[in-house]
């Protein structure tokens, strides 16, 4: 029996045993196998059950992931559109603000020119009016006559 069933390594290991001892070992191993078979089947069934649960859970997670990715993609599209609208508004406001700033610059330039004209023209006019007024000339004549008298008195004017 050993000659027909065993591999060369087994034949060498079991060469000192008789056919009856080998048959006894085979029967014992078969009996152990058959007694552990229900436990193995039970473990296999538990493994298959856990595997099915994990496969179901994995499928649910994949579906959740797909839904989340779709939601994210929709959110990105929505936010990009909102950002585009905001950017367009900002650009329009910037152009409008630049136009207002240019108008204000022109007004400041005009005010500076007006200020310069007012200072030059008004001071000239003020001095002209002042020199032609009676009140100023009366006071000035009094000061002039006193200065002339003082000059004669001190000998500066002959």
Per-residue pLDDT of 127-140, as tens digits, reads 888 888 888 888 88
Helix, strand, coil abundance in the chain, percent, nearest 5: 90, 0, 10
Question: Cα–Cα distance between 34 and 9 in angstroms, integer?
Answer: 25
Cβ(1)–Cβ(19) below 8 Å:
yes
Question: Cα–Cα distance between 29 and 22 in angstroms, integer?
Answer: 10
Give mean pLDDT, residues 3-22. 73
Q: Using CA of residue 66, residue 70, residue 73, residue 79, what is the dihedral sign?
A: negative
pLDDT of the residue at 2: 52
Whether the per-residue pLDDT at 146 is higher than 60: the answer is yes
Whether the per-residue pLDDT at 63 is higher than 70: the answer is yes
Cβ(2)–Cβ(22) below 8 Å:
yes
Question: Cα–Cα distance between 81 and 73 in angstroms, integer?
Answer: 12
Q: Using CA of residue 84, residue 85, residue 88, residue 93, what is the dihedral sign?
A: negative
Q: How confident is the model at residue 100 (pLDDT cuts 50, 70, 90)?
A: very high
pLDDT of the residue at 1: 53
Cβ(6)–Cβ(14) below 8 Å:
yes
Q: Using CA of residue 104, residue 109, residue 110, residue 114, what is the dihedral sign?
A: positive
pLDDT of the residue at 3: 59
Whether the per-residue pLDDT at 73 is higher than 80: the answer is yes
**For residue 55, which of 138, 144, 37, 63 has the smallest C-alpha distance?**
63
Residue 9: both structure tokens together: 């390594």
Overall domain count for the chain: 1
pLDDT of the residue at 64: 96
Residue 64 structural domain: 2-154
pTM above 0.85, yes or no: no
């Amino acid at each position: 029996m050993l000659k027909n069933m065993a591999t060369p390594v087994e034949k060498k290991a079991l060469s000192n045993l008789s056919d009856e001892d080998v048959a006894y070992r085979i029967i014992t191993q078969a009996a152990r196998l058959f007694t552990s078979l229900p436990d193995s089947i039970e473990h296999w069934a538990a493994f298959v059950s856990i595997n099915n649960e994990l496969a179901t859970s994995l499928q649910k997670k994949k579906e959740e992931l797909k839904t989340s990715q779709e939601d994210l993609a929709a959110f990105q599209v929505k936010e990009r559109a909102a950002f585009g609208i905001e950017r367009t508004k900002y650009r329009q406001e910037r152009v409008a603000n630049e136009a207002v700033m240019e108008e204000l610059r022109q007004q400041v330039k005009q005010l500076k020119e007006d200020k310069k004209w007012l200072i030059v023209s008004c001071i000239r006019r003020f001095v002209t009016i002042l020199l032609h007024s009676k009140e100023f000339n009366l006071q000035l004549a009094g000061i002039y006559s006193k200065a002339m008298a003082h000059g004669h008195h001190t000998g500066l004017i002959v």
